[in-house]
Amino acid sequence: MTSIQRKIWTLAAIVLFIMVAIWTTLTYYNQKTQDQYNDILQRYLRMNEVTNASQQTITALNNYRLKPTAANLGLLDRSKEQLRKARMDVMTLRNADNDFAIANYMNLIDSLLETTDRSLLFQTEKESEDSEKAFSEATRVSKYISEMTLTLIDTELKTYDRFYRGIIEQSAELKKLGVWLLLTITLLMLLFTYGFSLSITRPIQKLTQAAKELSRGRFDLKVEVKSNDEISFLAKMFERMRININNLISEIQQKAQLERELQQNKLLLQESQLRSLQSQINPHFLFNTLDTLSKKAYLEGSEETSDLLASVAGLLRYNLKRLDRSVTLYEEVKVLRQYMEIQKARFTDRLRFEADIDETCLHVQIPGLTLQPIVENAVIHAVEPSEEGGTIRFRIIDGEQRVRIEISDDGPGMTELKVRQILEAHPVETEGHSTGIGFSNVVTRLRLFYGVDDVMEIASGPEGTTVVLLIPKTRRFDSDD
């Protein structure tokens, strides 16, 4: 993964490299040209140097002849030395074209030196005429040297004519090269920069697009960026964020659903509370009235009615009193018998009740009003709709850990859905006229009371329904309140 920074560095490095390369080449080239010019100039200067030195020698010789002092002699010696040095320099100028001329040239210098010496010699020997002659010869030679210098320079120009023209052409070519180079580099840089900027901006553009989509609320589009730098990392993070947001949203939706259900449940609770409150209106007044009615029926000789009214009153009292606390199974069975008495009065012989009770189990603690709603349910669904009535069997069997309470009827049975609804403690739409406490209420209370889930089994079929309650002999937590 190359970072954007590295990309920038690479671009800068390439630019730098190109610039350095061009700079180096041009500098090198320039240096070479400079050297060349120096070489050429050097050649001309050396030739010119010979002319100068020879003229100086002649001047010095003349001065010495006019005034033969040691100073002038020193001057003459110096200029002669200079001439010798110039001669050595000229030697390096040799080439095939001027070989002959250079040889002549050097020999001319030698001749000049010799003639000068000769003139000096004659001078010291006081043979002034010979000295004069030698001097004039030296002057002539010096003149020849000057002329030959010009000839040599001329030859030089001819020899190197093509070369010089080449240099001029080359410098013109260099100018052209500069233009070409500028154009090429400009275009290349343009191309490079375009590609480079694209490699950075294209992923960003994609990312921007993706962000726009997200901001519009489209969380289902995948964020995909093909790139090899931080942008792709950013895109990946973005994609993860999108997925997270998606998840969060669905979570929130679930929560909202839950909330709604809770609200509903609250409403239901309020309703039931209202109902229970309503049912508590002046209960004692009701009990007393029922007692009074029972006594009056007894006094008037209707003992059966009196017993019935007493049962109703007892049941009602038990209902109101015991709903929120635990009782023994014994009490429950007693209330159940009272309830059955009332129902028998209602259904006469259409209702058959068979009880098989193991008396040893009656001390077991159980929430109040547990059995009555189940039996009531059986009465409502199995006995009431049938013309010939039905049989309700009630058994209490002692198990090892638990007490098994079976309540079975021979009604038409329940649907599978209903069974499940009951077991899952859904509030079931109650039909008919029950005491108000539903089946599911019983299940919930039992579970809460014992702290175990498997408190009820329901087996239902066309030949009847059997509800089995499995009551633990000891509560898991003994908080008897």
**Is residue 154 part of the contact set for other proteins (CB under 8 A)?**
no
Total residues at the site for other proteins (CB under 8 A)? 43
Distance CA 309, CA 47 (A): 158
Residue 127 makes contact with other proteins by CB under 8 A: no
Contacts to other proteins from residues 87-126, by CB under 8 A: 94-97, 99-101, 103-105, 107-108, 110-112
C-beta closer to other proteins: residue 38 or 280 = 38
Residue 30 tokens, joined: 């320039």
| 188 is a site residue for other proteins (CB under 8 A) | yes
328 burial level (CB within 10 Å; 0-12, 13-18, 19+): middle
Q: How far is the CB of 174 from other proteins (least distance, A)?
A: 5
Task: Choose, by CB under 8 A, the member of 48, 73, 144, 322 that binds other proteins.
Answer: 144
What DSSP assignment string belongs to 360-401? GGTT-EEESSSHHHHHHHHIIIIITT-TT-EEEEEEEEE-SS
Q: Whole-angstrom Cα distance, residue 53 to residue 463?
A: 150
Any contact of residue 221 with other proteins (CB under 8 A)?
no
- Of 376, 325, 326, give the one whose Cα is nearest residue 353: 376
> Interface with other proteins by CB under 8 A: which range of 167-175, 379-387, 403-411, 424-432?
167-175
Q: Which two tokens stand for residue 101?
A: 């001329």
Min dist. Cβ of residue 87 to other proteins (A): 13
Q: Is residue 428 within 8 Å of 438, Cβ to Cβ? A: yes
**Minimum CB distance to other proteins smaller for 126 or for 176:** 176
Q: Does 227 bind other proteins (CB under 8 A)?
A: no
Minimum CB–partner distance for residue 203 and other proteins (Å): 17
Report the C-alpha gap between 368 and 365 in whole angstroms.
9
CA distance 450 to 51: 136
- Comparison of 176 and 222: residue with beta carbon closer to other proteins: 176
Are the CB atoms for 181 and 25 separated by under 8 Å? no
159, 391, 434, 444: residue in contact with other proteins (rule CB under 8 A)? 159
Helix/strand/coil (H/E/C) assignment for every residue in 67-109: CCCHHHHHHHHHHHHHHHHHHHHHHCCCCCCCHHHHHHHHHHH
Which one of residues 141, 225, 374, 467 is an interface residue with other proteins (CB under 8 A)?
Answer: 141
- Of 33-62, which residues contact other proteins (CB under 8 A)? 36, 39-40
| Among residues 6, 32, 158, 295, the one that binds other proteins under rule CB under 8 A | 32
- Measured in whole angstroms, the distance separating CA 156 from the mean position of its chain's CA atoms is 77
Q: Which of 15, 52, 155, 160 is close enough to bind other proteins by CB under 8 A?
A: 160
Q: Which C-beta is closer to other proteins: that of 182 or that of 355?
A: 182
Instruction: Identify the residue among 154, 173, 261, 463 touching other proteins (CB under 8 A).
Output: 173
Q: Are 57 and 85 in contact (CB under 8 A)?
A: no
Residue 439 main-chain phi, psi, to 5 deg? -55, -50
Q: Is residue 234 at the binding interface for other proteins, with CB under 8 A as the rule?
A: no
Nearer to other proteins, 12 or 187 (CB): 187
Nearest approach in angstroms of CB 99 to other proteins is 5
Cα separation of 412 and 389, whole Å? 12
Least separation, in Å, of the C-beta of 247 and other proteins?
40
| Residues found near other proteins in the complex (CB under 8 A) | 25, 29, 32, 36, 39-40, 94-97, 99-101, 103-105, 107-108, 110-112, 140-141, 144, 148, 159-160, 163, 166, 170, 173-174, 176-177, 180-181, 183-184, 187-188, 190-191, 194
